[in-house]
Chains A and B, each alone.
Chain A
Amino acid sequence: MTAARPPEAGLGRDERHAIIRDGIAVGLATGAYGISFGAISVAAGLTVSQTCVMSLLVFTGASQFALVGVIASGGTPFSGAVTALLLGTRNTLYGLRLAPLLQWRGWRRVVSAQLLMDESTAMSVNRSTSAAARVGFLSTGLAVFALWNLATLGGAVGGKALGDPRTYGLDAAVGGAFLALLWPRLSDRRNQLVAILAVALALSVVPVTAAGVPVLAAGLVAALIGAIARSPDPTEIPSRDQRDSGEHP
């Protein structure tokens, strides 16, 4: 690793503004997810305050949807939490990829870690300098954080006013939300196979296990397949090209 270039080097005013503008746009789009999360969460039986605290503390969409999804299907809060944590592991991977690029230490790393999720990673991982990556990460992360939490509150309050969630098909909305989160990954053939196996396994154990367990079983099988599979993996991690070419420190 070479010495870090000065964080502000090579980032003009226009480029900075463009990155910030993109980050805010992503935040606005993602805020819309927050409305559906808030509504689905109160429909699953959580209170408005539980829903809002979850968005503040957990702040990673798929994990939050998973927690309330497991609750909605009758699972225990504990199995919901475990499912959410398993889904949260992908943020660890994001962190591994971003750490050499962001180069934050001490309190900056401790504070910025909460903003680490899909969108802030996507908007910073392909930048060529630390300065640009930091601006992308912070502008996207802060915009999404603000709008996600506001939208959660709006969705939760609105969802509560609606009454019986089944009347509005909110129980079906949960499946739609998970499918939309899954969809971009399904273009990969290997992922299609994993998905089919996971569905078959989860449904086959529904009659014989407590709610929440079928999803965990599918996750553990994915871990097992990943651990023992030997074939080369075509799906690429975003930062590898940059790392191999030594483009950034």
Chain B
Amino acid sequence: MMWAAIILTGIGCYLLKLGGLSMPAAVLERPAVERIADRMPVALLSALVAVQVFASGSHLVLDARLAGLAAAVLALLLRAPFLVVVLVAALTAALIRLL
């Protein structure tokens, strides 16, 4: 099942790339296509952040992950690079759990 999902995603993502390189550029002129393309990543990534931090199975919980996210926000405000942001989030949550 996991392998099937990985291969499906791999083939699908490749075809999405190839499709873009092969389609007529006029597709981009459609404003709805452009708007959806702009909004989609924002909506998905925001929802992923929320679910990652607050969901535990089908429950919403506040735990050390929220402290990790707060630390990540701080790191981003300080313009830290990607890997630092991820590390800071992880270490903060780990420290909270130690306490």
Contact = CB atoms under 8 A, between A and B. Distances in A.
B72 A180 contact: yes
Interface in B55-99: 55, 57-60, 64-65, 67-69, 71-73, 75-76, 81-83, 85-95, 97
Contacts of A114: 14, 17
Contact of A195 (B18, B42, B89, B97): B42
A59 B10 CA distance: 8
Q: Could you say which of A33, A76, A90, A221 has the most chain B C-beta atoms within 10 Å of its C-beta?
A: A90
Nearest to B13: A88
Interface in A182-214: 182-183, 185-186, 191, 194-199, 201-203, 206-209, 211, 214
Contact of A211 (B19, B50, B57): B57
Interface string A124-141: 000000000000000000
A74 B54 contact: no
B85 A176 contact: yes
Nearest to B31: A233
A58 B39 CA distance: 22
Contacts of A207: 58-60
Contacts of B71: 176
A80 B4 CA distance: 11
Given A78-B5, A113-B17, A198 B47 contact: yes
Contact of A95 (B17, B42, B64): B17
Interface of A: 29, 32-33, 35-36, 46, 50, 53-54, 56-60, 62-63, 65-67, 69-74, 76-78, 80-81, 83-100, 102, 104, 109-110, 112-114, 116-117, 166-183, 185-186, 191, 194-199, 201-203, 206-209, 211, 214-215, 217-219, 221-223, 225-227, 229, 233, 235, 237, 243
Contacts of A185: 41-42, 45
8 contacts: A50-B2, A87-B41, A176-B86, A191-B38, A191-B39, A196-B46, A198-B50, A222-B43
A136 to B, nearest CB: 15
Most B Cβ at <10 Å: residue of A56, A96, A186: A96
Given A77-B5, A113-B17, A182 B40 contact: no
Contacts, number: 336
Given A56-B10, A90-B41, A175-B68, 8 more contacts: A54-B9, A54-B10, A83-B44, A109-B21, A113-B21, A168-B94, A172-B93, A218-B46
B90 A168 contact: yes
Nearest to A167: B94
Contacts of A73: 51-52, 55
The 9 closest A-B pairs by CB, nearest first: A95-B20, A57-B10, A176-B89, A172-B68, A169-B93, A222-B43, A77-B5, A172-B93, A226-B36
B69 A175 contact: yes
Interface string B5-31: 111111111101111111101011001
